[in-house]
Amino acid sequence: MEISTKQQQVKTAQSTKRSFGTILKKGLFYLILILGALVMIVPFVWMISTSLKTQGATMVLPPEIIPSDINWGNYMKVTQAFPVLRFLGNSLLVASVSTVGQLILCSMAAYAFARLKFRGRDFLFLLYLATLMVPAQVTMTPQFILMKYLGWINTYEGLILPGMFNAFGTFLLRQFFISIPRELEEAAFIDGASHFRVYWQIILPLAKPALATLTVFAFMQSWNNFLWPLIIVSDSDMMTLPLGLSMLQGRWETDWNLMMAGVVISVLPVLAVYLFAQNYFIQGLTMGGLKE
Residue-wise pLDDT for 151-208, tens only, equals 999 999 999 998 898 899 999 999 889 988 888 888 888 888 888 999 998 899 888 8
In terms of DSSP H, where are the helices of the chain?
A: 2-51, 73-81, 84-115, 121-130, 136-150, 156-160, 167-178, 182-190, 195-198, 204-206, 208-224, 227-232, 241-246, 256-286
Residue 53 to residue 201: CA distance in whole angstroms = 52
Q: Read off the pLDDT band of 49 (50, 70, 90).
A: confident
The predicted model gives 275-279 an average pLDDT of 74
User: 254: helix, coil or strand?
Assistant: strand
pLDDT (0 to 100) of residue 192: 85
Displacement of CA 72 from its chain's centroid (Å): 29
Residue-wise pLDDT for 196-234, tens only, equals 999 998 899 888 888 988 988 899 899 989 989 999 998
C-alpha distances in angstroms, 130 versus 38, 64, 113, 134, 168?
36, 48, 15, 7, 10
The predicted model gives 110-131 an average pLDDT of 90
Alpha-carbon Rg for the chain, nearest whole angstrom, is 26
Is the Cβ–Cβ distance between 271 and 40 less than 8 Å?
no
Can you give the pTM of this predicted structure? 0.78
